[in-house]
A and B are shown apart, each in its own frame.
Chain A
Amino acid sequence: MAEDISLAYNSEETIISKANFSVSSGDFVFITGASGSGKSTLLRSFYGALRPENGSLVVGGVEVNNITNARLNFLRRHIGIVFQDYKLIKDWNIEKNVALPLLINGYAKDISDIQVDKLLNHVKLSHKKEKYPQELSGGEQQRVAMARALAHNPILILADEPTGNLDDYSSRLIWNLLEGANTQLKATVVIVTHHIPEDLGVSYKHFNIEGGTVYEIS
């Protein structure tokens, strides 16, 4: 829930101004807006990479404005993030990249292995688990990032343009996984995108950002 939050990278240039909106647990949310409107900035504030200048932002019951590093780490362990540029660890193979949140959350190796295998199977990349990110196409890397975001069954999934540069096959696979996370795992899903797919199988909330203001589109 956000109350009067303003976001800025430096105090002179405000990107989001006095935004008020609410997202409930289990919601499927789209945030749209023109390029540079502040969609990604808003998403970053959800995982504490950017703190609001003022107002109050509560994520998963935790106010992130003045959150301590330890509490922020704890919050992030319950969030799965998908970045537009994938952000895979280059010197780790695919299997290890997907296992990252499980490692951070202290999962036992055998349980982690089973979960990673299952997810790689879901994203159709089981045969490439020994490969390194650079050896995969953009679509494949995004599927790996998706598998990593889902690995620890997060309560909140944040995705920044998850299908921005992908072919139809990879895009469909990503949407299916996001829908599945929402319907089966009951995770709240927040997606920043330019384009909302027409054949989506879930009901959703839609926020649009224009001129630094966040509007809900019903």
Chain B
Amino acid sequence: MRSVKNHLSLIIALFTIVFTMQVYIVIERTVSAYEKDLNKNYSIVVVTKKSVKPEALVAISPTILAAEELSTKKVLEHLQSQMKQRHIDLLKLALPHFYSLHLNHYPTPDEIVSLRKKLQQNQNITRIEDFSKSHDTIYKLLLLYKSISILFAIGIFAVTSLLILKEMRIWQFQHNERMSIMAMFGAPVWMRSAVLFRLSIVDAIIASILAVGTFAYADFIHIGSEQLHEIGIDVLVFDTLNDSLLIFGVALSLSIILAILIVIGHKEEV
């Protein structure tokens, strides 16, 4: 019971920290997946007088990832029933060329303006449709998500700092006396600190196992991923290998830093 009490305070603090960190990671992944999804569905349409090689359009700006010509065949087929073939042939000759430009990332409104200017410098391009109005609304929504996730990160940092400071005070109180007594009997620094390091490593492992278990279970029963899938975002809630390693790494690092700070801050009783 005594041993459990000694361990519990740090385990709870570490678990809270790694749990919120993982939640933040999931939010980041969701926002990033949403951004990718937006980019996948977003393209700028340009109209040219003459046929242009897609490579020439890609060369206009490094932001342009790919360009593809939009076929006019379907529109002409649709008109065939209403127009004479002669008129269709004339229309074919007069019809400009349409190209869809895919970008390598979801652009900011400023990037769209800049890209538009570059495209306008090309004599062959007669018209540009960047869907800026709807883009602007969606972009603002994305910015809102990002701001929320940054606020959440700041919140985590503040909570983490408070928890660590509180834990440090408790640990200093708990371990200082024992370290002083051991010092009075000639124990070297490593021996005085051994209990502290052993405790911190064990607690970090327990907190990590609890956090990994919680997220692995959430992933197993599809908590979060199903809801996100329903709104068209497919995101990995828990990457078993990488996230587990990250959780173990963060918990171990934090508890070892805590132990080192206590050892450094330890003052022998006089």
Show the binding face of A for B, using Cβ within 8 Å.
9, 44, 47, 49-50, 69-70, 72-79, 81, 87-92, 100-101, 103-105, 132
Residue B55 interfacial (CB < 8 Å): no
Q: Is the CB of B178 within 8 A of A89?
A: yes
Q: Is the CB of A104 within 8 A of B187?
A: yes
Q: Note all chain A residues with C-beta closer than 8 A to B93.
A: none
Residue B75 interfacial (CB < 8 Å): no
**Nearest CB in chain A to that of B268: its residue:** A49
What is the minimal beta-carbon distance from A12 to any residue of chain B, in angstroms?
A: 16
Q: How far is the CA of A81 from the CA of B180 in the complex (A)?
A: 13
**Nearest CB in chain A to that of B5: its residue:** A91
What is the minimal beta-carbon distance from B161 to any residue of chain A, in angstroms?
A: 27
Residue B182 interfacial (CB < 8 Å): yes
Q: Is the CB of A91 within 8 A of B178?
A: yes
Q: Note all chain A residues with C-beta closer than 8 A to B181.
A: 87-89, 100
**Chain B contact residues, majority secondary structure:** helix
Q: Is the CB of A73 within 8 A of B187?
A: yes
Q: Note all chain A residues with C-beta closer than 8 A to B189.
A: 69
Q: Is the CB of B186 within 8 A of A9?
A: no
Q: Note all chain B residues with C-beta closer than 8 A to A105.
A: 186
Complex interface residues of chain B between 160 and 180 (CB less than 8 A to chain A): 174, 177-178, 180
Q: How far is the CA of A76 from the CA of B268 in the complex (A)?
A: 14
Complex interface residues of chain B between 168 and 224 (CB less than 8 A to chain A): 174, 177-178, 180-189, 191
Q: Note all chain A residues with C-beta closer than 8 A to B177.
A: 87, 89-90
Q: Is the CB of B185 within 8 A of A91?
A: no
**Nearest CB in chain B to that of A101: its residue:** B185
What is the minimal beta-carbon distance from A147 to any residue of chain B, in angstroms?
A: 13
A89-B178, A91-B178, A132-B2 known; A81 vs B185 contact (CB < 8 Å): yes
Q: Note all chain B residues with C-beta closer than 8 A to A101.
A: 185-186
Additional A-B contact list (18), CB under 8 Å, known A49-B268, A49-B269, A89-B181: A47-B184, A72-B186, A73-B183, A73-B187, A73-B188, A74-B186, A78-B186, A79-B185, A81-B185, A87-B181, A89-B178, A89-B182, A90-B178, A91-B6, A100-B181, A104-B182, A104-B186, A104-B191
Q: Note all chain B residues with C-beta closer than 8 A to A79.
A: 185-186
What is the minimal beta-carbon distance from A81 to any residue of chain B, in angstroms?
A: 6
Q: How far is the CA of A75 from the CA of B188 in the complex (A)?
A: 12
Residue B270 interfacial (CB < 8 Å): yes
A73-B186, A74-B186, A101-B185 known; A91 vs B270 contact (CB < 8 Å): no
